[in-house]
């Protein structure tokens, strides 16, 4: 039998489920404030708006509940979770420690191809900042942080960080709500890239820690102002 007559091997393609796509959509609505904290989630309205049934919507809400973005109460439905300024401060303290460690490890473990990709992402990040595109800037910013975590080659750290990242996402989005902090954040990302390329673990860790601290402080202050209104 010739090679051309051999049966073709089936190709397995992993398709994203509907509830995963819905999770992404609702997550963005929560992070960007379209669904305000504490607000009851109107399942009927969302089903009509998204043209879906309740089953995938409820599966999506369970995902967001596991991420700490939604609270689900028996017989009362779901609400957007509420975080206090104190909880935000504690969350960013923890993330700061994890990301500092990740940056230190990444400085010595990242490959040249990874650093090249990170540099390309930085160029794109600056372009989105110049265009004032907060939505796509935020998404790329999250990807950059995830990549640095992955470059640490520590699977336990990566798993723990991913759990916390979603809970902190609203705070990170609020932190770029002011032009000064947004510009400062871009500059901090460049300084971090420089340290990683120089394989300077100490400098990379210090820059990352200060970057997360600044973001956390802005998030806490923004939340305090919002609650004072």
Per the CB < 8 A criterion, the answer to whether 80 and 39 are in contact is yes
**pLDDT per position as a tens digit, 172-181:** 898 888 778 9
Task: Mention every residue, 6+ apart, whose C-beta is less than 8 A from residue 107.
Answer: 195, 196, 198, 199, 200, 201, 203, 204, 205
The structure's pTM equals: 0.83
**pLDDT per position as a tens digit, 117-142:** 999 999 999 999 999 999 999 999 99
The structural domains of the chain, with segments of one domain joined by +, span: 18-80, 85-228
On whether the 85-228 domain is CATH 1.20.120.530, my answer is yes
DSSP secondary structure code for residue 39 in this structure? -
Q: Which CATH architecture has domain 18-80?
A: Orthogonal Bundle (1.10)
Could you please report the per-residue DSSP string of 126-192?
HHHHHHT-HHHHHHHHHHHHHHHHHTTT-HHHHHHHHHHHHHHHHHHHHHTTSHHHHHHHHHHHHHH
pLDDT tier for residue 11 given thresholds of 50, 70 and 90: very low
């Amino acid at each position: 039998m010739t090679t051309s007559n051999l049966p073709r091997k089936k190709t397995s393609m992993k398709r994203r489920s509907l509830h995963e796509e819905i999770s992404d959509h609702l997550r963005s609505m929560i992070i960007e404030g379209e669904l305000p904290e504490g607000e009851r989630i109107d399942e009927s309205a969302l089903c009509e708006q998204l043209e879906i049934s309740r089953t995938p919507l409820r599966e999506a809400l369970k995902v967001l509940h596991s991420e700490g973005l939604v609270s689900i109460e028996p017989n009362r439905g779901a609400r957007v979770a509420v975080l206090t300024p104190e909880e935000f401060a504690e969350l960013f303290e923890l993330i700061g420690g994890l990301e500092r460690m990740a940056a230190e490890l990444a400085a010595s473990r990242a490959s040249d191809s990874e650093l090249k990709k990170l540099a390309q992402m930085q160029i794109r990040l600056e372009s989105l900042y110049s265009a004032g595109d907060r939505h796509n800037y935020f998404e790329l910013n999250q990807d950059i942080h995830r990549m640095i975590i992955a470059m640490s080659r520590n699977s336990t750290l990566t798993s723990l960080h991913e759990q916390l990242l979603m809970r902190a996402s609203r705070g990170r989005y609020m932190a770029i709500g002011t032009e000064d902090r947004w510009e400062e954040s871009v500059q901090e990302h460049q300084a971090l890239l420089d340290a990683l390329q120089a394989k300077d673990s100490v400098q990379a860790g210090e820059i990352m820690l200060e970057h997360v601290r600044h973001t956390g402080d802005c998030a806490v202050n923004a939340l305090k102002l919002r609650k004072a209104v």
